[in-house]
Amino acid sequence: MKPTLLEADRAQVAGDYAGAIDLYRQLVAGQSGSFEAWYGLAAASATVGEWGDALAAYERALDIRPFDAGLKINQAEAMLALGHVTDAVHGYRFAVARGEAPLRAMALRNLACIAPGDPALDNSKILEIRRAWAAQQAGTLNAGRPHRKRGPRRLRIAYYGAFFAERNWMKMYMGVLNAHDRSRFEVNLIVDGDLPSAASGYLDRDEDRIWQVSGVPNDELARHIEAAEIDVLIDLNGYSHKSRLPLLVHRAAPLQIAWNGMYGTTGFPHVDVLIADDAVLPESEEGHYTERIYRVRHTYLPFNVFYETPEVAPPPSVRNGYITFGSLNSAYKLTQQTLDIWSQLLRQIPSGRLLLRNSVLDGASNRLDLISRFANLGVGSDRLTLLGKADHQEFLRTYDEIDIALDVFPYNGGTTTAEALWQGVPVVTFNGDRWAGRTSRSILNAAGLSEWVGDDVSGFIEIARGLVDADLASIRLRQRQKIATSPACDVTSLCRELETLYRVESERLADVSITESGARP
């Protein structure tokens, strides 16, 4: 007896996704034109992370309802998860143009998030998209600057973010937070999610103030920040925590800054300063940014590995007899541009293999999607090793099996680049056409490893080919110590630069406030 749609839907609602998927498959086999069955199959597949299956089912559902904006958003989510970023952008744009107001808002938010990762968009288009979402968030809100006359006290700074408890992410900025001079600065940590701890690198100070604000609406949180007379508010996560980024619209502090989690303009007019460096943002591109740019001397992304990590292992080519390239970047960074560049390299080195690892590759349909994309570029599955999620230590040990790490484009690795270098693996990148495509360049330059940064794609391939014949064992032996003593890990130096910025800008605003009030500056 054939199942009914009701049975399949009930299985999905009950959380029996495997059972639901089986029932939906039976239904579409017998009723190829049933929108509800195709949609149910897509939704259940997406829920269990089988994005390849979900994408195929969404496409069949869209054959039946081609103008369904909500379905386009769902399809775009599946596309993004697999690295089909340009196609995802097209889907979100369709929903922005044709969807009802709630769907338009959702699509525009997602579009603003992923825009820098689409190789088909340039800096002007990224700015246009992000400005559009910022304008939507601002609405008719009156976000005037709160001028306050500050008495003789420490400057009150507040960092807000969602990943304070995640040690692998916190190594990219907890060192700077710990290094603040508490005699001159009152440090506030505004936390969505779990609280910071010693395990996540936080050096607890009695005088620090930690706010747990999960679930607090932005307008309410803004009132608390203003009541606490915070002088400088710093966003750490940017579009990695989209729901909290609009806090900046409320102008809760006189000085608002974006740092670390940004890899392009926020698009928000209420962000006063964006922290950058010369490697990621040349002056010629400042016109594509809504913020005033402050460039630090070295990298804006120094890291501090404060927890135990695996020992650096010898290069695997010593025992394998062939070179293994690799990347542990998220699947949504595996754009067509990235695969095209990697495949050019692999075709020039026939004995080379490629190892990829990320959580999306747990899904069988996801692996098949990636294998098919490589096959279309002349790289067979026999040259690919595809691994899924792992705990952090096992994840880092994956670098034991990689000789040379390849960057992703146009959205480089950040944390992933730092981890590969720390485990002794050379990372090859090139100077991209946007901030997101120069993040690895920033870290490599600061680490004294600029020789692994190509000028363009041809330079990238030339460097990677040159490393095939290099003394990789010697590189791995000395790399961790070299990085640890370089500006790439000098979190204290960056902290002092930021402290100067916070103090100087706050004093400047105080002078403006006095002048505007009619008093003598």
- The pLDDT, as a whole number, for residue 521 is 31
The 10 Å Cβ neighbour count of residue 191 is: 20
Residue 475 has pLDDT above 60, yes or no: yes
Q: Is the pLDDT of residue 144 over 70?
A: no
Domains of the chain: 5-138 (1.25.40.10), 155-302+492-516 (3.40.50.11380), 317-489 (3.40.50.2000)
Mean pLDDT, range 440-455, rounded to an integer: 98
Q: Would you say residue 146 has pLDDT above 90?
A: no
* pLDDT for residue 47 is more than 80: yes
pLDDT band at 367 (very low <50, low <70, confident <90, very high): very high
Assessment of whether the complete model's pTM goes beyond 0.85: yes
> What are the pLDDT digits (tens) for 395-418?
999 999 999 999 999 999 999 999
Map 241-302 to HEC letters.
HCCCHHHHHHCCCCEEEECCCCCCCCCCCCCCEEEEECCCCCHHHHHHCCCEEEEECCCCCC
Residue 140 has pLDDT above 60, yes or no: no
- The model's confidence at residue 143, banded by pLDDT at 50, 70 and 90, is low
Q: Which of 37-41, 151-155, 297-301 has the least mean pLDDT? A: 151-155
Q: State which of 88-97, 237-246, 507-516 shows the largest mean pLDDT.
A: 88-97
Long-range Cβ pairs for the range 130-134 (8 Å, 24+): 130/264, 130/265, 130/266, 130/267, 130/268, 130/290, 131/267, 131/290, 132/108, 132/267, 133/108, 133/109, 133/267, 134/249, 134/266, 134/267, 134/268, 134/269, 134/290
Residue 514's pLDDT is 40
pLDDT number for residue 496: 98
First to last CA, the chain: 86
Among 366-375, 435-444, 512-521, whose mean pLDDT is lowest? 512-521
Tell me what the mean pLDDT of segment 367-390 comes to: 98
Over residues 239-255, mean pLDDT: 93
Mean pLDDT computed over every residue of the chain: 94
Q: CB atoms < 10 A from the CB of 149, how many?
A: 9
